[in-house]
Chains A and B, each alone.
Chain A
Amino acid sequence: MSDQQMTIHLKVWRQKGPNSKGELVDYTMDDVNPHMSFLEMFDWLNEKLMKQGEEPIEFDHDCREGICGSCNMMINGQAHGPQKATAACQLHMRQFSDGDTIYVEPWRAKAFPIIKDLVVDRSAFDRIVEAGGYVSVNTGGAVDANAQLIPKKEADIAFDYATCIGCGACVAACPNSSASLFTGAKIAQFAHLPQGEPERKERARAMVDQMKEEGFGDCSNFAECEAVCPKEISITAIAEMRREYVKSLFD
């Protein structure tokens, strides 16, 4: 692994506030270490900008381990960048070459308005969960955890859907800005668990309706969402969601 410093040309979306006009601004970094993470390169750039009295670039981040779902960067037109199953915070600069030009933009979707620079408002996702992404049990009084057996196969399928980190890459990658993978994953998780059974229909209906209300588009099976999902959630989630939704209409 080479430790040679690289020169990277960045074109970064800068936008002062929700109602300002944004533009791509050029920055050249001539001391990028290949072992830096993508976000560390931004930290580094921000340090330089501040030392020159310029405003740093705002971007969301927190765990930097690919699990909190905070980071959201369109990197060269790909949500989270070129590495498969990798959120932007886990992407490292060794994936790029000396002299590369990299475009960095925020998620773009009507339902994700821009707040500043690369930071967007994803509260629509919370409202979709609020509509029904839960099992209605109160604290206390639950039966023994082993009272109900769940076949490992079903539990594993449910788990695969449950790994969604809510980052919104699926929406950003979708030509229709659909939130079907996000919504479908939650519906499908519960559809594979006995705990989800009692509210199965209401849940599917309420979550899908809310998704539409938030201004996300429909799914046309492009499968771009699956390709960029850092947790590799399968688009079978969307098929499951559709099935659940249709079933919910006929009862």
Chain B
Amino acid sequence: MAQTKEELFDAKIPEGPLQEKWDNHKNSLKLLNPNNKKKHHVIVVGTGLAGASASASLAELGYNVTAFCIQDSARRAHSIAAQGGINAAKNYQNDGDNIWRLFYDTIKGGDYRSREANVYRLAQVSNNIIDQCVAQGVPFAREYGGTLANRSFGGAQVSRTFYARGQTGQQLLLGAYSAMMRQVEKGKIKMIPRQEMLDLVMVDDLARGIITRDLETGEIQRHAADAVLLCTGGYGNIYYLSTNAKNTNASAAWRCHKRGAMFSNPCFTQIHPTCIPVSGEYQSKLTLMSESLRNDGRVWVPKKAGDDRHPSDIPDDERDYYLERKYPSFGNLVPRDVASRNAKYVCDEGRGVGPTKMAVYLDFRDAIKEQGLDTISGKYGNLFDMYEKITGENPYEVPMRIYPAVHYTMGGLWVDYNLMSNLPGLFVLGEANFSDHGANRLGASALMQGLADGYFVIPYTLGDYIARNDIKPVSTDTPEFDQAEKEVRERISRLLDNKGNKTVLDFHRELGKLMWDYVGMSRNKEGLEEVIGKIRDLREEFWKDVYVPGENETFNKYLEYAYRVADYMELGEVMARDALDREESCGGHFREEYQTEDGEALRNDEEYNFVSCWEYKGEGEKHDIHREPLEFEYVTPTQRSYK
């Protein structure tokens, strides 16, 4: 049943013209009749947009679903924090949008490192998502006439982003969560919150179950099913400081990886340019300030390094509006990766501002002068308030200080067109998979992808898998479950018994700094080679010297934290290896050796037009790399320029 290497790289892209692939595919998928669905049981790990939408949709079809999440309620998944909006090709604004354009913008935004067929399907189902959410009662922003409102977002020339004030993720997730709760009430979903997946169980080469830990009591449990859907989000938290919620983690995906699932493009990380900068050592996370602020704010630093004057005492001719200077046609509105990198450069030159010198100004002085205070507060009032709450400074009077922060991970577990990993029966949805964003994700497209996967893709492809493989129930009383549980218990005991001298947070902060310095906004061969050794050393030290308090049989957040950081210690190395292997710059992956004369990312389509797939080879062993070639039949990869 296990796939051969050749089959692995068969992404199972359907035949036919791009526009017809998904429909053709749906026609060829095997169906399970409703009575049969009732006999099948699916595990869904994670209840963010991807997991909640999948759980609800599958339960509606008749499957029996058991869903798990870390938080005390499904509604608190990290998706809740998304602010800006969700894209769809509705063309309600009559500004020339269509499915093709959304497809094209997304694939170009990803710097031509994703599959045409996947991205096209995403654009196709985008419209259904909006319809579905509205039907659930999601209160999107509306115009006075009662129609839905749109805004524009980076990387697009049309207005296609649907939003619910600055709380789009919250409203979409509550929609999906309520659909889930309806099925809980009907008995079709068993929702188990505060329950963390700690391993995947393979039986006869099929994904058949998981081992979990009850986060209240420490009880280790076994759960079996006919398929496992991993919807566990991204791994941006590996950098310690990021815009991600504190409990986001790579562990579920990493456990699957260690059971044989390929990890793809791990080095593709998105760094968002406008976040509130670090204020001190105690800092625990970074807060995003919407990228819409760059429509009116001007980015600058002093021309002179070490200029400590108050910003208002620095005259205009001693300020460097470096984005406007370097990119006269796009100015402050260059894409996320370009804006981020340039902020780093000026800070590296010693021209950063604020107490830590790791920030640049985002100044609204001129916008307020030109448009008036009321207009600016009308546009950005809630963001200005949030900024003031966090920093204690009033951005109407003093320029905001911003700095880039890790925001999203494009990499993830490899999946085929059906969203199935190379392990049969293990499906991966949402940010946890690598699939649709290539080397850079456009704003407002992660929400779209999570819901596309859960509402409109998996309900079709899962049935086909179950129908074709004639999956029969398994018991949790098998050697495979015994072994997986034993390994989980040993790992927990090892952490608890260690009683070292450094806390998990000490280690996480150190790892985060390595990742940020060497595998962050800008990377080079020498640094990457060096950091691999450093990560290995830190990992060794972690297992020798980490201190984990308390015991297993109780609520113990630092124990959870410990096993998550332990996994980051391994993932970090693979991210560095991937960045080292990819000798080109593309999207969020910037290799200093590969840039244009203007300092822009220089792709190498001849040699690096592929998805990297990393294979786990055993504890402490070097990973193997495989490559899924990408083909562009419908779009022609071009070099970006924002001059």
Q: Which parts of B177-202 form the interface with A (CB within 8 Å)?
A: 177-179, 181-182, 184-185, 191, 193
In the complex, A3 has a CB within 8 A of chain B: yes
Name the distance in Å between B218's Cβ and chain A's nearest Cβ.
11
Return the contact of B131 from the options A3, A92, A144, A155 (Cβ within 8 A): A144
Residues on the A chain within 8 Å of B280, using CB: 33, 35-36
Once the chains bind, are B74 and A135 in contact (CB under 8 Å)?
A: no
In the complex, A78 has a CB within 8 A of chain B: no
A116 to B216, CA, bound (A): 9
Once the chains bind, are B146 and A122 in contact (CB under 8 Å)?
A: no
A94 to B280, CA, bound (A): 14
Name the distance in Å between B381's Cβ and chain A's nearest Cβ.
13
Q: What is the total of A-B residue contacts with beta carbons within 8 Å? A: 216
Looking at A94, A130, A189, A195, the one whose CB has the most chain B CB atoms below 10 A away is A130
Provide the A139-160 mask, 1 if CB < 8 A to any CB of B, else 0. Answer: 1101111101111100110110
Contact (A145, B131) CB under 8 Å given A50-B558, A162-B174? yes
Chain B interface size band reads: 35 or more
Return the contact of A40 from the options B193, B284, B455 (Cβ within 8 A): B284
Once the chains bind, are B389 and A142 in contact (CB under 8 Å)?
A: no
In the complex, A60 has a CB within 8 A of chain B: yes
A145 to B160, CA, bound (A): 14
In the complex, B137 has a CB within 8 A of chain A: yes
Contact (A135, B393) CB under 8 Å given A64-B284, A129-B181, A130-B185? no
In the complex, A229 has a CB within 8 A of chain B: no
Residues on the B chain within 8 Å of A69, using CB: 75-76, 80
Residues on the A chain within 8 Å of B392, using CB: 1, 34-35, 92, 94
Looking at B145, B165, B174, B505, the one whose CB has the most chain A CB atoms below 10 A away is B174
Once the chains bind, are B72 and A123 in contact (CB under 8 Å)?
A: yes
Provide the B581-619 mask, 1 if CB < 8 A to any CB of A, else 0. Answer: 000000000000000000000000000000000000000
Once the chains bind, are B178 and A142 in contact (CB under 8 Å)?
A: no
Name the distance in Å between A169's Cβ and chain B's nearest Cβ.
15
In the complex, B555 has a CB within 8 A of chain A: yes
In the complex, A51 has a CB within 8 A of chain B: yes
Residues on the B chain within 8 Å of A136, using CB: 182
In the complex, B143 has a CB within 8 A of chain A: yes
Q: Which parts of A97-152 form the interface with B (CB within 8 Å)?
A: 115-116, 119, 121-123, 125-126, 129-131, 133-140, 142-146, 148-152
Once the chains bind, are B148 and A146 in contact (CB under 8 Å)?
A: yes
Return the contact of A64 from the options B134, B185, B246, B393 (Cβ within 8 A): B246
Once the chains bind, are B164 and A142 in contact (CB under 8 Å)?
A: no
In the complex, B4 has a CB within 8 A of chain A: no
Once the chains bind, are B170 and A163 in contact (CB under 8 Å)?
A: yes
Once the chains bind, are B145 and A92 in contact (CB under 8 Å)?
A: no
Identity of the chain A residue whose Cβ is nearest the Cβ of B81 in the assembled complex? A63
A50 to B556, CA, bound (A): 13
Can you list 30 A-B contacts (CB < 8 A)? A1-B393, A17-B554, A33-B282, A36-B280, A37-B284, A50-B503, A50-B558, A56-B549, A58-B557, A63-B246, A70-B71, A86-B389, A92-B389, A129-B178, A130-B181, A133-B181, A134-B137, A134-B179, A135-B135, A135-B178, A137-B136, A139-B60, A140-B456, A142-B128, A142-B132, A145-B134, A152-B142, A159-B165, A189-B139, A195-B137
CB within 8 Å of B: which residues of A? 1, 3, 16-17, 33-37, 39-41, 43-44, 46-47, 50-51, 54-56, 58, 60-65, 67-70, 83, 86, 90, 92, 94, 115-116, 119, 121-123, 125-126, 129-131, 133-140, 142-146, 148-152, 155-156, 158-159, 162-163, 165-166, 189-190, 193, 195-196
Counting from the closest, the 10 A-B pairs by CB-CB distance are A149-B146, A134-B178, A142-B135, A142-B131, A139-B57, A145-B134, A159-B139, A116-B555, A195-B137, A63-B245
